[in-house]
Amino acid sequence: MLCSVGSRCGAGQGALLQSRQSGASAFVSKRFFAAAAGGNTLKQEDVLKRVGDVIKSFSKTGTSASNADTPAAEVTEATSFQKDLGLDSLDTVELLVAIEEEFEIEIPDKVADELKTVGETVKHILSNPEAN
């Protein structure tokens, strides 16, 4: 999936099960954003929606016994990965890696271990200058 420079990749494209066709284009756009903005310009509601979309595609395609009936529309800041989405610890790791791929970031291990809800995850993404 090509993401043109200056436009944002569509939601869900970086989900765990979909690899990018061109690593090069993602790489180039990352550089562009880093140089131009010096920080991410993501809006909180957009991040929430994209996280919701990743959760949606993750539930559909995941190998886990996660609750596939939870629609992304119902994902809110308060949604807990384990309690509300029914994810086990392995699922949670997989979901966070899928979210990392969507936003082209790497969440530090210590942070990732503490992320339990959608809201905490969105907050972290917003605080990461490399996210796009």
**Nearest CA to 69 among 44, 86, 47?**
86
Cβ count within 10 A of residue 129: 13
**Closer CB to another protein, 49 or 111, in the complex:** 111
Under a CB-based contact definition with an 8 Å cutoff, are residues 46 and 4 in contact?
no
**Closer CB to another protein, 35 or 73, in the complex:** 35
Shortest Å, Cβ 109 to another protein: 5
Longest alpha-carbon distance in the chain: 42
Active-site pick, 88, 91, 109, 113: 88
Shortest Å, Cβ 60 to another protein: 14
Establish whether 84 is a catalytic residue: no
Measure CA of the first residue to CA of the last residue in the chain; give whole Å: 15
Chain residues binding another protein by CB under 8 A are: 16-23, 31, 63, 89-90, 93-94, 96-97, 100-101, 106, 109, 112-113
Shortest Å, Cβ 1 to another protein: 10
* Torsion angle of C-alpha atoms 48, 52, 55, 57, degrees rounded to 10: -130
d(CA 105, CA 81): 20
**Closer CB to another protein, 97 or 126, in the complex:** 97
Residues acting as catalytic residues: 88
